[in-house]
Amino acid sequence: MPTHRSLAGRLATTAVCLLLVGCGSQDAGSSAPIPATPSTATTPVESPSVAPVPSVGPVASAGAAAELVEYPVTAGSHPHDVAPAVDGGVWYTGQNNGTLGHLDPATGNVREIDLGAGSAPHGVIVGPDGAPWITDGGLNAIARVDPATEEVEVFELPGTHPDANLNTAAFDSDGVLWFTGQSGMYGRLDPAEGQVEAFDAPRGRGPYGITATPSGDVWYASLAGSHVARIDRATGEATIVEPPTAGQGARRIWSDSNGRLWVAEWNAGQVGLHDPSDGSWQEWPLPGDGAQAYAVYVDDDDQVWLTDFTANAIVRFDPSTEMFESFAMPDAEAAVRQLLGRPGEVWGAESGLDRLVVIRER
């Protein structure tokens, strides 16, 4: 059974946004769309150092169609994942200081909620209840924070999986939370029952990103295993699906509005597309040499967004034109870990510089 713990929010700091004034210059952080060359195939089914808070002022442009804004958060927190909040703010995990942070973009103000001794939160998403749900590798538990009271409720994993290295979570269409652990497991938590179940991944270590399709199917990506897998929600059994590129390092996965699955292929520096309806695959290399595709997120217009560690950039891919557009980070070593958004906004966490970043359509 889960244990429960209540903690009050502990810190408020003032943050200032860095508005990147649009001038349309490539040197200022934008590049022209880059055509991609896809490959096709059919599937065989089966911690950066702390950086100082940046100075205030215009520093770059994301081009005429969009603006890029950065918000400093607590120094040394190393924000990892972000999730737009119901109140218009943004939740983020402070992986290095064991907190859940909340940014108010209107004021730049930041408040933090202590998640407990030993906490090292990785992922955060907002559930159907409007609350942030956290995968906490340090606590080896799922945590829920009440956005009104800041009470922290902790759901520990069963003793069979003491070092899961928890990663990412997603809610299915029935309101059940599914999550991954890189040590070689995945699990589920029904909030109505409060019971955590854990399953061994079919090929051991590697489960990383996870997503739910509009129809409610749940898929995860295995970074170490270089595959994706569909979870049978009734039995908990996972069926592996192999991408066409061997050893590609499938890191994160996201469903578009049609249930097609987009995959960030870390080792291969590609974005992959799998259509479960016909078993097909396509893959497109990100622009530039030595790309490292970390995060993937599909927005409400079915535009595909990725982060590229090598280019120090957020990249947009338009599936209709098969063109890339790159938005360079103003400063080196931003290390944008994860992306999530809401209509007109794509948010990321700059773990290397202790900032959050948003790209907004003009």
Name the band, by pLDDT with cuts 50, 70 and 90, for residue 362: confident
pLDDT of 59 over the 90 cut: no
What is d(CA 44, CA 362) in angstroms, rounded to the nearest whole number?
43
The one-character DSSP state at 50 is P
Name the band, by pLDDT with cuts 50, 70 and 90, for residue 274: very high
What is d(CA 159, CA 152) in angstroms, rounded to the nearest whole number?
21
pLDDT of 44 over the 90 cut: no
Nearest by Cα to 296 from 288, 305, 287: 305
Higher local confidence (pLDDT), 51 or 197: 197
Nearest by Cα to 179 from 247, 234, 118, 124: 124
pTM (predicted TM-score): 0.84
Place of tokens 């973009």: 105
* Structural domains of the chain sorted by starting position, each given as residue range(s) with its CATH number in brackets: 9-361 (2.130.10.10)
Report the pLDDT averaged over residues 80-89.
Answer: 98
Q: Which two tokens stand for residue 218?
A: 């749940």
What is d(CA 86, CA 231) in angstroms, rounded to the nearest whole number?
29
CA 297 to chain centre: 7
Q: How many CA atoms lie within 13 A of 255 on its CB side?
A: 20
Contact 73, 57 (CB under 8 A): no
Residues 6+ apart with CB under 8 A from 14: 108, 109, 110
Contact 168, 179 (CB under 8 A): yes
